[in-house]
Structure 1
Amino acid sequence: MDHETSTGHVTRKAVLRAAFAAGIAAPAVLMGVPALARTLTEGEAAPALTPECDDGDDPTPPQTEGPYFKPSSPLRSSLVEPGTAGARLTVSGYVFGLACRPLAGVLLDFWQADTNGAYDNTGYRFRGHQFTDAQGAFRLATIVPGLYPGRTRHLHVKVQAPGRPVLTTQLYFPGEPRNNTDSIFDARLLMSVRDAGPAKEAAFDFVLNVPQGPGPSPTATATTPPPGGSWAAGTAYRAGDRVTYGGLAYVCLQAHTGQAGWEPPNVPALWRAG
């Protein structure tokens, strides 16, 4: 991610990304600097400012799911398989709460078209989910998606913090001619994109509607005694495993390790009642 805007100013999120990566606090003098969605390319007008990562921040805007979402995607951070065609793309970033503190254990479920603009609706090519690490970071290896009628180039994603609602949205590429004609396109969802040899590197930071106070990222804590059952935090579950929770039976849809906030009723992407 570039650390300067087209005006040469260091962006707030660039400072925060660098600080979190280094495990230090961001310099207070830079905490008032707004961030652009991405570095401008020549001839482009400045988009609206993205959320400023501070108290009272605005969450990342939602967008339509579209007709091609499929549940139960595989757990993986790379969608590239042997023989995959298309220009390689790496997307990285962080997930923040409303006080601009990183959120660990956030579920991100990505899906996209292949280089020809087609979605795999029978299998799981170019579909996969992952979780942010302890620093709130994610990294996706994929390809630049192709175009299809009516849409500009984009990635789909669902983002869910433990015990919180799902954010469904889309990510866009700067400089695409169809950005001007796509009725769904939102400039606030533009990634920062740069060339890396024949490949491309992109960055985007999500802000979720998760209240936060000063100090470390909040974690889900029980306010009432657990309702009972065989489900337990810290257990590694495989697809097809069965548990009980709160008097109901659930089937595991995707392999994961249980944690507070991911109780079966809270995460339909991971558990199905029945």
Structure 2
Amino acid sequence: MTKKLMTRRSILQNWLAATAAGLAASLPRVSAQAQTLQTTPFCDDQTAPTIAGTEGPFYTPRTPRKTDFRQDAAGDALTLTGFVVTRECKPIADALIDLWHADAEGEYDNEGYKLRGHQLTDAEGRYVFETIIPAPYSRRTRHYHVKVTAPGGRVLTTQLYFPGEEGNGNDFLFNERLLMRVVNASDGKVGRFDFVLDG
């Protein structure tokens, strides 16, 4: 008998029910066959900060504050979520997360703010973006661009990657330490990445 997949909303509610104190604990199962997902990266006293990645040529400053990109372009739905924490696993509230990425054809909107926006983390350091899965393009594998800034802190510019992509091995910017955890839902996919900031 085939197990029914949970919706993105159900997965998201389960993931975000975790508190910062429980970041090192396993995440709930998505289905009977699903692997228990760990936080990304595993958070303990020796946790290294999230590594930086190139900004790329398509960054646009002063993006609007928004969490739902799906009205911007057609594509397969993905909910991107996670926490922003310190190296001691303490949540960072009001961290600014600026997200931008290509559309389902591998194109960026360089004239407006389609598939571009920012938000602030909540009191538990959580963030959620409703967006689409970007297409790979040229020599780049599928990815999201992100800037993360704690209040009064330095800007972390990096990129997030999808596991199991054929293009990962051919992309000179790819780094496996920036892989999201991605699970299937009945209405799309859910990706998770927890940003660890240093100082």
Aligned partner (choices 142, 155, 158) of residue 131 of structure 2:
142
Give 1:109's aligned amino acid. Answer: D
1:20 counterpart = 2:9: no
Instruction: Report what 1:191 is aligned to.
Output: 180
Give the Cα separation in 2 of the matches to 1:34 and 1:89.
21
Distance 1:85 1:53 in 2: 35
**Does the residue aligned with 1:86 lie in a helix, a strand or coil?**
coil
Asked if 1:105 is matched to 2:94, the reply is yes
Structure 2 distance, partners of 1:197, 1:19, is 22
**For the residues of structure 1 that align with 2:175 and 2:84, how far apart are their CA atoms?**
19
Amino acid at match of 1:92: T
Distance 2:168 2:26 in 1: 24
Match of 2:69 in 1: 79
C-alpha distance in 1 between matches for 2:17 and 2:112: 37
1:194 Cα shift? 1.1
| CA displacement at 1:19 relative to structure 2 | 3.8
- Secondary structure of the 1:171 match is strand
- Provide the residue aligned with 1:91 in structure 2: 80
2:106 is the counterpart of 1:117: yes
Task: Provide the rounded CA distance (Å) in 2 between the counterparts of 1:85 and 1:166.
Answer: 30
Q: Which residue of 2 aligns with 1:69?
A: 59
Aligned to 1:156: 145
Correspondence for 1:233:
none
Does the residue aligned with 1:178 lie in a helix, a strand or coil?
helix
Map 1:1-274 to 2 at 5 A: 19-20=18-19, 25-26=21-22, 51-81=41-71, 84-210=73-199
Q: Determine helix, strand or coil for the equivalent of 1:151.
A: coil
Deviation string, structure 1 residues 37-93 (Cα, Å, up to 9, x no partner): xxxxxxxxxxxxx654223421000000000000011000111117x3100110110
Q: 1:196 deviation in Å?
A: 1.0
Identity among equivalent pairs (%): 50
In structure 1, C-alpha distance between the alignment counterparts of 2:45 and 2:152, rounded to whole Å: 21
For structure 2, the residue ranges without an aligned partner over 5 or more in a row are 1-14, 28-39
Partner SS for 2:159: strand
1:204-248: per-residue Cα shift (whole Å, max 9, x none)?
1000012xxxxxxxxxxxxxxxxxxxxxxxxxxxxxxxxxxxxxx
TM-score, with length taken from structure 1: 0.59
- The letter for the 1-side match of 2:19 is F
Q: Supply the AA of the counterpart residue of 1:72.
A: R
Distance 1:17 1:80, change over 3 A: closer
Distance 1:178 1:115 in 2: 16
Question: Compared with structure 1, are the counterparts of its residues 52 and 201 closer, same or farther at alpha carbon in structure 2 (3 Å cutoff)?
Answer: closer
Helix, strand or coil for the counterpart of 2:177? helix
* Structure 1 alignment gaps of length 5 or more: 1-15, 36-49, 211-274
* Separation of aligned partners in 2, 1:154 and 1:193: 13
Higher RCO (C-alpha 8 Å, min separation 6) = 2
Deviation at residue 198 of structure 1 after TM alignment: 4.3
Aligned to 1:270: none
* Structure having the higher Rg: 1
RMSD: 2.4
Asked whether the equivalents of residues 79 and 126 of structure 1 are also in contact (C-alpha less than 8 Å), the reply is: yes
- Write the distance in 2 (CA, Å) between the matches of 1:207 and 1:172: 16
Calculate the TM-score normalised by the size of structure 2: 0.81
Q: Residue type matched to 2:182 in 1?
A: V
For residues 83 and 50 of structure 2, the distance between their equivalents in structure 1, rounded to whole angstroms, comes to 12
